[in-house]
Amino acid sequence: MERAVPLAVPLGQAEVFQALQRLHMTIFSQSVSPCGKFLAAGNNYGQIAIFSLSAALSSEAKEESKKPVVTFQAHDGPVYSMISTDRHLLSAGDGEVKAWLWVEVLKKGCKELWHRQPPYRTSLEVPEINALLLVPKENSLILAGGDCQLHTMDLETGTFTRALRGHTDYIHCLALRERSPEVLSGGEDGAVRLWDLRVAKEVQTIEVYKHEECSRPHNGRWIGCLATDSDWMVCGGGPALTLWHLRSSTPTTIFPMRAPQKHVTFYQDLILSAGQGRCVNQWQLSGELKAQVPGSSPGLLSLSLNQQPAAPECKVLTAAGNSCRVDVFTNLGYRAFSLSF
């Protein structure tokens, strides 16, 4: 018998282009709404999609509820980083940071609330913003990226108050020490720097690649991710994923993971990390691999833990990376489903 080929097979020009776009999509950033029910995801085409976690997690979830509620073009370039305040969604990509009202984002055709560009020195190429960090105590936002500086922006006035210089290559990631107003930054130059916001100075530098235990020259020296918890700091990238004791600046645990890690976070007494490869890795602090939960993307770039107290039913871990899908883990053991662009 003849094969039943539907007449509308996706072979038209538009369909092929769409399929290719989806195939080559990378989701760089995620952020959970302050109410905890929505998840924003930004991709390499500059689009931000808002997924409804509550709808996708509800018992009568259908295929459509795993599709974005709204998708809109936020930036011209990729959306590298996103973060949520109690009212706003801040997104950053090539050169500028934009603010969107969460309330309006859910409606179609919303416009940005404001956008700011840090004072850059070069004009040849607009440096990207790779990391955003909120400092609640002084109500400011720290932006870091291509121009090797940490820019502090006052959220009240929208002005850039200071720039912290010290990195010799672009900055990948930021982390805030909660007790004291100190910020950690890791960059392409292989160094993790500790900044004191009160004096706006670099107080400590750890050049990870110089420590033989964790150095992996064939992967490069870049620090792709870091997280901190009181005196502890975990960082990874080109060098192996390593747990550091900050006060003594010594690596305490080296996690046996070959692939470079792109995202790491503390969760209860575990460390979650993701990067090259399909899996979300769960580590004991002692360095044992507790579990490897496979996701649907060939490589992961960001993890997001929804710990908003407002929506306890939506307490999930989401992971996104080199695909158009956002994997949702309802518990840490396995992947429940994927949200898809």
Partner 1 sequence: MSSESSKKRKPKVIRSDGAPAEGKRNRSDTEQEGKYYSEEAEVDLRDPGRDYELYKYTCQELQRLMAEIQDLKSRGGKDVAIEIEERRIQSCVHFMTLKKLNRLAHIRLKKGRDQTHEAKQKVDAYHLQLQNLLYEVMHLQKEITKCLEFKSKHEEIDLVSLEEFYKEAPPDISKAEVTMGDPHQQTLARLDWELEQRKRLAEKYRESLSNKEKILKEIEVKKEYLSSLQPRLNSIMQASLPVQEYLFMPFDQAHKQYETARHLPPPLYVLFVQATAYGQACAHMKSSSQPPRQDKTLSVAIEGSVDEAKALFKPPEDSQDDESDSDAEEEQTTKRRRPTLGVQLDDKRKEMLKRHPLSVMLDLKCKDDSVLHLTFYYLMNLNIMTVKAKVTTATELITPISAGDLLSPDSVLSCLFPGDHGKKTPNPANQYQFDKVGILTLRDYVLDLGHPYLWVQKLGGLHFPKEQPQHTVIADHSLSASHMETTMKLLKIRVQSRLALHKQFASLEHGIVPVTSDCQYLFPAKVVSRLVKWVMIVHEDYMELHFTKDIVEAGLAGDTNLYYMALIERGTAKLQAAVVLNPGYSSIPPIFRLCLNWKGEKTNSNDDNIRAMESEVNVCYKELCGPRPSHQLLTNQLQRLCVLLDVYLETESHDDSVEGPKEFPQEKMCLRLFRGPSRMKPFKYNHPQGFFSHR
Nearer to partner 1, 11 or 199 (CB): 11
Which residue stretch of 11-19, 132-140, 176-184, 265-273 sits at the interface with partner 1 (rule: CB under 8 A)? 11-19
| Residue appearing with tokens 């939960």 | 293
Closest separation between CB of residue 172 and partner 1, Å?
A: 7
Q: Is residue 10 involved in binding partner 1 (CB under 8 A)?
A: yes
> If binding is defined by CB under 8 A, does position 111 make contact with partner 1?
no
Number of residues that bind partner 1 (CB under 8 A): 46
Q: How far is the CB of 302 from partner 1 (least distance, A)?
A: 8
Q: According to the binding rule CB under 8 A, does residue 211 interact with partner 1?
A: no
The smaller minimum CB distance to partner 1, of residues 129 and 293, is found at 129
Task: Verify binding: residue 341, partner 1, rule CB under 8 A.
Answer: no
* x/- map, 215-254, partner 1, by CB under 8 A: --xx-x-x-x------------------------------
Give least dist CB 187 to partner 1, A: 11
Quote the tokens at residue 307.
């710990």
Position 123 contacts partner 1 (CB under 8 A): no
Q: Residues 38, 80, 283, 337: which binds partner 1 (CB under 8 A)?
A: 80
Among residues 36 and 237, whose Cβ is nearest to partner 1?
Answer: 237
Interaction of residue 188 with partner 1, rule CB under 8 A: yes
> Does residue 47 bind partner 1 (CB under 8 A)?
no
Select from 24-32, 104-112, 113-121, 135-143 the region that touches partner 1 (CB under 8 A). 24-32
- Residue 276-315 contact track with partner 1, rule CB under 8 A, x = bound: xx--------------------xx-x--------------
For the chain, the three-class secondary structure string (H helix, E strand, C coil) is: CCCCCCCCCCCCHHHHHHHHHHHCCCEEEEEECCCCCEEEEEECCCEEEEEEHHHHHCCCCCCHHHCCCEEEECCCCCCCEEEECCCEEEEECECCEEEEEHHHHCCCCCCCCEEECCCCCCCCCCCEEEEEEEEHHHCEEEEEECCCEEEEEECCCCCEEEEEECCCCCEEEEEEECCCCEEEEEECCCEEEEEECCCCEEEEEEEHHHCCCCCCHHHCCCEEEEEEECCEEEEEECCCCEEEECCCCEEEEECCCCCCEEEEEEECCEEEEEEECCEEEEEECCCCEEEEEECCCCEEEEEEECCCCCCHHHCCEEEEECCCEEEEECECCECCEEEEC
Q: For residue 59, what are the CA distances in angstroms to 36, 37, 53, 185, 313? A: 18, 15, 12, 41, 12
Query: What residues make contact with partner 1 under the rule CB under 8 A?
Result: 1-2, 5-13, 15-17, 19-24, 26, 28, 77-78, 80, 124-125, 128, 130, 146, 170, 172, 188, 217-218, 220, 222, 224, 259, 262, 276-277, 298-299, 301, 322
